[in-house]
Amino acid sequence: MSLPTINPTTTKAWKALENHYNNIKDTHLKDLFSTDANRVENLSINWNDFHVDYSKNRIDQTTKKLLIDLAKEVKLDEAINSYFQGDPINQTENRAVLHTALRAPKSSTLNLDNKDIIQEISKVKEKIEKFTNQIINGDLKGHTGKKFTDIVNIGIGGSDLGPAMITESLEFYKNHLNLHFISNVDGDHVHQNLKKLDPETTLFVIVSKTFSTQETLSNANTARTWFTKQAPIDAVEKHFVAVSSNIPNVTSFGISKDNIFPLWDWVGGRFSLWSAVGLSISLSIGYKNFELLLEGAHEMDEHFKATPFEENIPVILGMLSIWYNNFFNVESEAIIPYSQYLHRLPAYLQQGIMESNGKSIDRNGETIDYQTGTIIWGEPGTNSQHAFFQLIHQGTKLIPSEFIGFKHSLFNDNNHHHKLMANFFAQTEALMNGKNKAQVLQELNNSNIPQNKLQQLLPFKVFEGNKPTTTVLINKLTPKSLGALIAMYEQRIFVQGIVWNIFSYDQWGVELGKQLASEILSEIEKSEISEHDFSTKNLLNRYIC
């Protein structure tokens, strides 16, 4: 079954939301709290070890109801069924979207083209498990008989960001293996990394679904050349493995079939960390922890599939994002993890969210006249407080922000953790309440500042507040809770794509640049610049001369 194709702006709920927006747009969050004693209970969700408090958003019960009506009117429930049962919902590429199957239990079944894909997935998982154990235990060794000490993941986009973000986030759980990630075609990236490595003890994991990506193939070739300068050519098969769905390209690169970890066309690059693309994750934290990551994601999938929209975390978060994007016309959203381990989470989510929903043609093939794709950015707290928080507090733009924090730290250092979390709570409180003139005046009156100075200073010290935030408070950063957190964002992407009536699982927009780069590269290599616009031509001529 194909996805519904309803223009959201034609729904009754959308029209009602437009009217409702005019009623609520100037209401201060403080007033929303003072008029609803049960606001926190009504606008928060407890699920497993997650507590999601969305009460500090510029909504009331009517907003929530209308947003849910919108989700229902665009037939989100039907779309969820199509997605999980493997309908080809990536219609422009005629593919199913089944990263959810990668984390489904072994005992489940899912037939696609008359094959139970859960069994195929299990076989690959067994291969990952065996290989992981052999590398960690040292049963598989390098060509000179030494155990592997370093793993280099070569990939880009989804073949890099997911494994890199997860291994960094779960560094606490890592074993003795050192992980390195080479992604950029910038030669300085690969050479800087190779400089640190010993070819006798390094394993390269080349990750590319298509095995045709310029960056990955260039880096893989450079790594192989570096390796074969110091090792015999037949040692390549011991030191290079690949994760790909393009077996012919991998074998012609020189990697043996036995060393290929397959994936399928129904796994999108930016949703692939749950597949063999996560091999580096498994090597870094061990297969059992990798399984726990999948288990956490699966539990979130089940929550998403089975929970009424009113209590459904990805649905609520997705609809809130639509509320700000399409009614408040906000330009961007911030994601602020209060955990240094989650340092790469915003960059990872930028691909997931922006590559999926940065679309301007709807599912009917028509040009869209409403906003889609939110711009996501962020950095961990508290560092970001000392960087861009000024703009969120007192700038002219409204930036809805999501705060992610953990009740317990991993090293149990409460001296630090209480400070971190005090900031976490203080920021959302400050963003909501702000500080009015009377409060500022009182503070200034208690200081020794002369009256004339005080009046001058007053407007600069006022915080209008009313800045929306959502708090996701999780018990502890574990493989399982991280799996659930990532799946929460994946399903939120789906919700927004459905409501916006766009295809979230293709990425045609990245093709043109790739195509032009390959043409320009051959011009640069021949030192013959052909026809371009004046600016590009001038720049190219300056580069080659």
What is the binding site for ligand F6P (CB under 6 A)? 156-159, 208-210, 213, 216, 269-270, 355, 507, 510
Using the minimum distance from each CB to ligand F6P, give the nearer residue, 263 or 499. Answer: 263
Q: How far is the CB of 444 from ligand F6P (least distance, A)?
A: 53
Rounded-to-integer distance, Cα 414 and Cα 421, Å: 10
Classify the C-alpha dihedral 46-335-376-24 as positive or negative.
positive
Separation of alpha carbons 455 and 210, rounded Å: 64
C-alpha 183/C-alpha 4 separation (Å) is: 37
How far is the C-alpha of 56 from the C-alpha of 534, rounded, in Å? 51
- Residue 156 or 493 having the CB closest to ligand F6P: 156
Q: Closer to ligand F6P by CB, 210 or 218: give it.
A: 210
Q: Which is nearer to ligand F6P, 163 or 378 (CB)?
A: 163
Task: Read off the tokens for 258.
Answer: 């036995």
Nearest residue to the partner ligand F6P, using Cβ:
269
Q: Which of 287, 337, 310, 258 is closest to 67 using CA atoms?
A: 310
User: What percent of the chain is helix, strand and coil (3-state, nearest 5)?
Assistant: 55, 15, 30
Supply the residues annotated as catalytic.
355, 386, 514
Task: Report yes or no: 376 and 14 within 8 Å, Cβ to Cβ.
Answer: no
Nearest to 358 by CA among 229, 500, 532: 500
Cβ burial of 109 (10 Å; 0-12, 13-18, 19+) is: exposed
Asked if the bond preceding 382 is cis, omega within 30° of 0, the reply is yes
**Are 91 and 2 spatial neighbours (Cβ–Cβ below 8 Å)?**
yes
d(CA 545, CA 118): 56
Least distance between ligand F6P and beta carbon 351 (Å): 7
Task: Give the nearest distance from C-beta 275 to ligand F6P in angstroms.
Answer: 11
Q: How far apart are CA 367 and CA 501, in angstroms?
A: 11
Residue number with CB closer to ligand F6P (197 or 277): 277
Question: What minimum distance in Å lies between the beta carbon of 378 and ligand F6P?
Answer: 20
Q: Phi then psi for 377, rounded to 5 degrees? A: -155, 165
Q: Give the DSSP H or E segment for 350.
A: none
**Residue 363 DSSP SS3:** coil
Least distance to ligand F6P, CB of residue 209, Å: 4
Cβ distance 99 to 268 under 8 Å? yes
Instruction: Give CA–CA dist 14/25, Å, rounded.
Output: 15
How far apart CA 210 and CA 230 sit, in angstroms, is 29
Minimum separation from the CB atom of position 213 to ligand F6P (A): 3
160 vs 200 by CB, closer to ligand F6P: 160
Residue number with CB closer to ligand F6P (270 or 467) = 270
CB of 262 to ligand F6P, least distance (A): 13
| Closest distance of CB 217 from ligand F6P, Å | 9
Close Cβ partners of 367 (under 8 Å, ≥ 6 residues apart): 360, 361
Q: Cβ of residue 246: shortest distance to ligand F6P, in angstroms?
A: 8
Nearby residues of 371 by Cβ (< 8 Å), 6 or more positions away: 325, 326, 329
Q: Please, which residues bridge with residue 473 across strands?
A: 51, 405
Select 132 or 246, whichever has its Cβ closest to ligand F6P: 246
Residue closer to ligand F6P (CB basis): 213 or 478: 213
Query: Left if phi > 0, otherwise alpha if psi is -120 to 50, otherwise beta: which for 253?
Result: alpha
